[in-house]
Structure 1
Amino acid sequence: HPCAGLDWGHFHPLTHGEESCDNFTDLNLSHCFMGTSLYVRLLLYTRSNLDCGRELDHHRLSSQPLFNLSRPTAFVIHGYRPTGAPPIWIDHIVHLLAEQEDMNVIVVDWNKGAANLNYFTAVTYTREAARNLTGFIMTMEEEGAALSSLHLIGVSLGAHLAGFVGANLKGKIGRITGLDPAGPMFTSTTPEERLDPSDAMFVDVLHTDMDSFGLRGAHGHIDFYANGGVDQPGCPKTIFAGKSYFVCDHQRSVFLFLCALNRTCSLTGYPCSSYGDFLDGRCLQCEAFKPASCPVLGYDISRWRETLLRLGQTKVFFSTTASLPYKKLSYRVDMVTWNQYLRWGVVYIRLHSGRHFTEARVDHKLLRLEQYTSTRLLAQFDEDLQHIQKISLRISTGNVIGPRYKIRLLRIRFTPLERPERPLMCRFDIIMDENMEVAFRPLPCNSPH
C-alpha cells in the first residue's frame, strides 16, 4: 500500500495538571519511508491516571508507585502502523478496560518497528518485540505478579506478537484476545509461527477481514466470526473509496470489541460449522452451554470458559448492522407451508410497531416451498421494536409472467432468540399470493386458532 494510504487518525499529547504525560510515539511519513528500528515502550494507565500515561522502566518496576502487581494487568498491543500515527482507539480501550475492573492497563507501544513502509520488516520485528515483552513479564512474575492474572489484547499483527509472548511463557498467561489476527505472511504457517490456543490458558479471537488483511481459520478456544468473518456492513466494496476500502473491514474488529466492552453491544455468537448454516437457521440452539446462554463477545467470558475449554476449539457466528450499536435482533421463524406447486423464493418480513417498522430479508439463498414443508429461517432485524402490533410477509419467487400462484401457510411462529422474556408470536392458516405482501396481527402461540 502507499504509505499514506492507511492513516488511522492522529493523537494529541496531553498534559495532566503540571505533570507531563508519557504519550504514544507519534511518528510521521518520513519515518515510515526511511523505516524505523524497533524500540518498545510500555505505558501504564490505572484508574488514578487514566488520561496520563506513565512509561515503565523495563527492569525497575518498583520505581513506578502506580504499578500494583497484585492487580490484574491487561496489555494492549497494536499492529502494523504504515503511517506512524498512533491508533485512534488507544484512549478508548484504556478507559473501557479500566471500567471493567480495577487493573493495570499497559499500552505496548512498538510504533518504532511497526511504522515501516515494508510490512515484512514489521513482521520480523514482532518476534523481537515479543522477546522484550516476555522479559518484562518475567520480571513482573519475579516481583510477585501471577501469570494467570495477565490478559494480552493484540490487534492484527499485535495478536501474533501476543501469541509469541504466550508461547515464550509456556502458555501460562491467563488470556489472549486476538482482534482480527493478521493474515499476510501468516496464512500457511505452523501454530508455532502464529497465534494458537496453546499460547495462553484461554484464547479468544474475533475475525472481521479473513479475505484480505485477516487470517482465515480458527485460532483460539473460541473464534467469533462477525458477518462470517469477511465483508462488514457499511464498509466500501470498491477500491475507489480510497484508504477505507483497505482498513474498514479489518479495523471493525477493534470497534466491535470496544462496543462490547462498553456494554452497549451485546453480540451473541451461535456455535456453528459455517456462516451459511447459521444463516439457514440450523445453529440457533446453545445446548452445550446450558444453563448459561450462548457466548457473548467481550471482556467477561467466565460463564463460558469451562465449557469452551472442555469443547476444544469452538466457532461462533453472528451478524451485525453497519454502525453502533451493531446489534441485530434475531428471530427464529418456523413456517409450515402447503402449496400445490413447488416454488422457490426469498422471504421478506416486516415487524410494525406504531408507525415504525423494521425489515429482514432472508435472501442469502432460495428457499424450497413445497406441498407440506416445515421451514426454519433466521430473520435478523436492524432495529429492536418491542411491541409488535403487525407483521407483514412477502415471498418473492421471481415469477413475473405466468399465473400468480397461491402459497398457504398452515402455521408461522416467531421466537425472539436473545430476548427470552418476550412472548412467542404465532399465526395460523394464512393464504397469500406469491410476490404479494400479506399483513396480519400476531397472536400468542398458545391461543386457540
Structure 2
Amino acid sequence: MHKAIKNKSRLLCGLKDSRADLTTAKFILYYGPTVADSDIYDLTDYQSLLEDEHLDLCKNTVLYLHGYIEDPDVESIHVIAEAYLERKDTNLIVLDWGELADGNYIFDALPNLKQLGPELAKVLLQMFDHGLDIEKFHIVGHSMGGQLAGLIGREIFKRTKGVRKLKRISALDPAFPLFYPGSHLSASDAEFVDVIHTDAWLYGAPTSTGTADFWPNSGKSLQPGCPKRNYKMLSDNDLASHRRSWWFWAESVSDRYPIRFDAVPAKNWSEFKQKRTIETCPPVVMGHHCPTSVHGNFYLQTNGQTPFARGKEGTVYVEPKELLGNTHSICPCETPHHEQK
C-alpha cells in the first residue's frame, strides 16, 4: 500500500518512473557522412573508443550532453550532429544518458545526474591518461546537460587536486529548476565557460553563470519566431525558446552561413536597447567561434527564422517585428524535421 502511494506521488510530480542505472549511459561517436554513421561504446569501454579508426586524436574533440527526457533520436541531437559533421576539424562524441535523464525530474533525473557526473569525470580522466588530449577537449551541454557539464568539470578539478581543469564548457540554456540557488554551473568549472541564455527564469538559468554569458533577444522567452507559450509543461510549444539555444549553437558550428552571431558587452538588456554598450571590449561572437579570452555579459538580436545570425546588424537594437520578415527559411520551432520527444 505504501509503495503504491509513493509511486502515485512520483507520477504526479513527473512523467514516469525511471529505474535506470549508470551502466545504461553510452558514448556515441558520430563520424558521418550522416547521423546514421556512428559507433556506440559503454562508458567502461573507453579504450575501444580511443582506438576507433574514426576518432582522430589529433583533432579537437567535443562531448555533447543532451537535456532532460531526451535521447539520441530527438531533433536536437540530429541538428547538432549534422552541424559538426560538416566540419573536418572536430570529433563529435554524444553521451546517450537517455534512460537516466528520463522519469521524474526531481526524484529520478536529478539524482541520476548527480551520480553520473563523478563517474564521467573518472572515465574522462582515464581517457586523458590514454591519449585523449585535454587541451583539445570541449564539453557542450544543453539544459540539464549544461549542468552535468559543470559537475564533470568540478569533479575533474577536485579529483586531480587542481592539477587538471577542462579547457572549455559551453552551456546552452543550462537548466534552472533546483539548480539556482544551489550547486550549479559556474565560471570555475573550466578555464572558459560560455553560456547562451534563451529562456531565463523558466526552463533556463536566471542569472550570469559563466565566464561569458550571452543574452540573445534578452535571453528570455519569447525568442523571436517562437510560438506563444501554451504553458503545457514540456510541450514543444512551451519548450520552443529553451530549445532555441541549441539551434543557435548548431548554426554557429556550421560554416554553411557566412554571417556570425556578433555580440556586444553591456550592463543589461535595457542598456543594449538604448545603444549604451561598452566600447573597450574587442569584437565578440556567440557560439562555436567565441574567443576564450573574453568575459562578462554580451547582448545581441537574432532573426526569428534560420539563418538566425545577423552579424553586426544584430548588435544594434531594432523592434522585434523587424526580426521576422527578412529571412528565407522556415522557423524550426514550427516545423521540426525530426520527431521531437
**Smaller-chain TM-score bracket:** 0.7 to 0.9
Structure 1 residues 282-297: aligned runs within 5 Å = 282-283=276-277, 286-289=279-282, 294-297=283-286
Give 1:127's aligned residue.
114
Q: Give the distance between the partners of 2:323 and 2:241, measured in 1 at CA.
A: 20
Structure 1 residues 422-433: aligned runs within 5 Å = none
Q: Give the distance between the partners of 1:362 and 1:175, measured in 2 at CA.
A: 32
* 1:67 to 1:381, Cα distance in 2 relative to 1, 3 A: closer
Q: Give SS of 2:213's match.
A: strand
Give 1:212's aligned residue.
202
Residue 74 (structure 1) aligned with residue 62 (structure 2): yes
Alpha-carbon deviation of 1:221? 1.2
Residue-by-residue CA offset, 1:241-286 (whole Å, 9 max, x unaligned): 8823420111111111112222425111110110010001111x54
Alpha-carbon deviation of 1:381? 8.9
Residue-by-residue CA offset, 1:20-72 (whole Å, 9 max, x unaligned): xxxxxxxxxxx952324132111112357753221124245145333343332
Match of residue 134, structure 2, among 138, 147, 152 = 147
Match of residue 90, structure 2, among 85, 89, 103 = 103
Q: Give the distance between the partners of 1:256 and 1:241, measured in 2 at CA.
A: 24
Residue 244 (structure 1) aligned with residue 232 (structure 2): no
Q: Give the distance between the partners of 1:45 and 1:332, measured in 2 at CA.
A: 38
Alpha-carbon deviation of 1:93? 1.3
Q: Which structure is higher in RCO with an 8 Å CA cutoff and minimum separation 6?
A: 2
Q: Is the CA contact 1:70–1:144 (under 8 Å) kept in the aligned structure 2?
A: no
Give 1:65's aligned residue.
53
Q: Which shows bigger deviation, 66-75 or 162-171?
A: 66-75
Q: Give SS of 1:135's match.
A: helix
Residue 187 (structure 1) aligned with residue 180 (structure 2): yes
Give 1:178's aligned residue.
171
Alpha-carbon deviation of 1:100? 3.4
Q: Counterpart amino acid of 1:66?
A: H
* 1:209 to 1:60, Cα distance in 2 relative to 1, 3 A: closer
Q: Compute the TM-score of the two structures, normalised by the length of structure 2.
A: 0.78
Give 2:190's aligned residue.
200
Q: Give the distance between the partners of 2:35 and 2:75, measured in 1 at CA.
A: 16
Q: Give SS of 1:383's match.
A: coil
Q: Give the distance between the partners of 2:104 and 2:184, measured in 1 at CA.
A: 22
Give 1:158's aligned residue.
145
Calculate the aligned-residue CA RMSD, in Å. Answer: 2.8
Residue 267 (structure 1) aligned with residue 261 (structure 2): yes
Match of residue 39, structure 2, among 48, 51, 54 = 54
Q: Is the CA contact 1:148–1:172 (under 8 Å) kept in the aligned structure 2?
A: no
Give 1:13's aligned residue.
none
Q: Is the CA contact 1:218–1:315 (under 8 Å) kept in the aligned structure 2?
A: yes
* 1:175 to 1:100, Cα distance in 2 relative to 1, 3 A: farther
* 1:298 to 1:362, Cα distance in 2 relative to 1, 3 A: closer
Match of residue 213, structure 2, among 207, 211, 223 = 223
Alpha-carbon deviation of 1:223? 0.5
Q: Give the distance between the partners of 2:315 and 2:264, measured in 1 at CA.
A: 13
Alpha-carbon deviation of 1:383? 3.5
Q: Give the distance between the partners of 1:94 and 1:64, measured in 2 at CA.
A: 18
Q: Give SS of 2:181's match.
A: coil
Q: Is the CA contact 2:169–2:193 (under 8 Å) kept in the aligned structure 1?
A: yes
Match of residue 86, structure 1, among 73, 85, 94 = 73
Match of residue 273, structure 2, among 266, 276, 279 = 279
Alpha-carbon deviation of 1:198? 1.0
Structure 1 residues 348-427: aligned runs within 5 Å = 361=319, 383=326
Residue-by-residue CA offset, 1:119-161 (whole Å, 9 max, x unaligned): 4421111122212221221121111222121110000000010
Q: Give SS of 2:121's match.
A: helix
Give 2:8's aligned residue.
none
* 1:276 to 1:102, Cα distance in 2 relative to 1, 3 A: same
Question: Which structure shows the bigger proportion of residues in strand conformation?
Answer: 1
Q: Give the distance between the partners of 2:202 and 2:227, measured in 1 at CA.
A: 13
Q: Give the distance between the partners of 2:105 and 2:261, measured in 1 at CA.
A: 36
Alpha-carbon deviation of 1:201? 1.5
Q: Give the distance between the partners of 1:240 and 1:202, measured in 2 at CA.
A: 34
Alpha-carbon deviation of 1:118? 3.8
Q: Give SS of 2:64's match.
A: strand
Q: Give SS of 1:169's match.
A: helix
Give 1:316's aligned residue.
298
Select the structure of larger CA radius of gyration: 1
Q: Give the distance between the partners of 2:231 and 2:127, measured in 1 at CA.
A: 48
* 1:111 to 1:55, Cα distance in 2 relative to 1, 3 A: same
Q: Compute the TM-score of the two structures, normalised by the length of structure 1.
A: 0.60
